[in-house]
Amino acid sequence: MTSVSLPIPTVGVPLPGRGCDCNSCAFYAGPDGRGGPATVEPLCTGQNSDCRFCGCSAAEADAPANACVTRKCPIRCGSRTDIAGWMADVGGTLTFDDISVDSTLPAGLPSFIPMTDGSAVTKLDASLNWPAYGVGLRRVFSPDTHTLYKRFTEQTARQALSLGDHQKAVLVGYGEDPLVEAFWTRRGRDRLVERIAEQEWDLVLSCNYSIYGDWPRTEHLLNMRRSLMLAQEFAEAGVNVVPNVYWFRLEDLQRYLSWIEDTQPAGIAINVQTVRDNADWDSWERPGLHFLAENLPEDMPVILTGLSRANRIAEMAQIFGPRLTLISQNPHQYALHGAIMTANGREDVHARSEDAFAATVQYMASLLPSR
């Protein structure tokens, strides 16, 4: 007798295959792009060869109903005993077809935006009068209490940073996984999106949900959709927002391009601050950025967060040109130690923090095309 692998009951929504079994997965594109035996949405060309979780015991038929929750496993895969709940949480689909981010970019953004610690920039900005400042999500949404800090709920973002009327406040919605996961989980109950809208940020870069090479493709697909969904929620709350894009395969980039062509967002944001070593940069991030530079609409603004090496900045400036905006916390981090960034790298000059900050901001801005 030949055994036949049947898909998990879908409870009204398509579900990924248990144990990353492509033949039982609702999202398998198949060898010819037309799907497999259980395909509902052909989005994925197959499991990750480097995945560390495909042998999880929760894939076994006799696994307890609450096995994943009991073990507090953070990985969302087809073997999760609560995967139907996660699929329902993202709207019962992993496509981008129902998502649009109707927003605009504020006028007057500089090509370089330094990030600070969320306190008043009066001292750091004294000699600069810089057009815009960025603040990371963890300075606004507490990683300890998972609540918004009072200093940002009791006044506008511009007031909290002591910015002038001509200066822009940018919320960089990136953070470590526990922080952005907590934001996702609590955003509805605590009205986080609406309350951030009340802070009157001039621009918000929406959260990015992680894509790791040794995680299941289901996790990738869920996180790409969540990143765009959250951007849509900010836009619907009246926020000037740019969606974050993260990818792992060429097919992911191609899906983004189709979505961008259909919906025409105000721009895209890409968080590159986690790509430190040259191997990941050269094999993954850099090729993807070149692909986007070649295939995005020529007038599509691109905001990169986290580049800190002069050679990488110069390369991105070359391929994206004047549509590139760079956001970095380097000036602030260096200034805390009296150091500056130069063409020779970091130099510990023991300068006053405000002088060191201004020097690095001006140097990093000089690496980017003028507008």
Instruction: Name the token pair of 350.
Output: 């023991």
Instruction: Name the token pair of 258.
Output: 């189709």
Mean pLDDT, range 67-80, rounded to an integer: 84
Q: Which class in CATH covers the domain with range 112-367?
A: alpha beta
What are the C-alpha distances in Å from 23 to residues 8, 80, 95, 316, 330? 11, 17, 19, 40, 47
pLDDT at 149 over 80: yes
pLDDT at 4 over 60: no
pLDDT at 294 over 80: yes
Q: Which residues of 216-255 are buried (b: 16+ CB within 10 A; e: fewer)?
A: bbbbbbbbbbbbbbbbbbbbbbebbbbbbbbbbbeebbeb
What are the C-alpha distances in Å from 355 to residues 219, 251, 340, 352? 44, 46, 9, 5
pTM of the model: 0.93
Q: Please, what is the angle between helix 217-236 and helix 250-263, to 10°?
A: 20
pLDDT at 7 over 70: no
Q: Where in the chain is the domain with CATH 3.20.20.105?
A: 112-367
The 3 state secondary structure assigned to 50-88 is CCCCCCCHHHCCCCCCCHHHHCCCCCCCCCCCCHHHHHH
pLDDT category of residue 72 using cuts at 50, 70 and 90: confident
pLDDT category of residue 2 using cuts at 50, 70 and 90: very low
Closest CA to 304 of 166, 115, 121: 115
Q: Please, what is the angle between helix 286-295 and helix 250-263, to 10°?
A: 30
* pLDDT at 277 (0 to 100): 74
What is the percent of the chain where pLDDT is above 90?
A: 80
pLDDT at 51 over 90: no
Instruction: Name the token pair of 33.
Output: 């792009």
* pLDDT at 61 (0 to 100): 66
CA atoms within 13 A on the CB side of 218: 26
Mean pLDDT, range 69-97, rounded to an integer: 90
Containing 11, the helix (H) or strand (E) segment is none
pLDDT tens, residue by residue, 208-240? 999 998 899 999 999 999 999 999 999 999 999
pLDDT at 14 over 80: yes
| Spatial distance between the Cα atoms of 223 and 245, rounded to a whole number of angstroms | 10
* pLDDT at 8 (0 to 100): 42
**Between 190 and 49, residue with greater pLDDT:** 190
Q: Which residues contact 150 (CB under 8 A, 6 or more apart)?
A: none
Q: Which of 59-73, 268-282, 327-341 has the highest mean pLDDT?
A: 327-341
* pLDDT at 6 (0 to 100): 39
pLDDT at 5 over 90: no
pLDDT category of residue 64 using cuts at 50, 70 and 90: confident
pLDDT tens, residue by residue, 295-316? 999 999 999 999 989 999 999 9
pLDDT at 115 over 70: yes
End-to-end CA gap in the chain: 70
* pLDDT at 53 (0 to 100): 82
**Between 187 and 48, residue with greater pLDDT:** 187
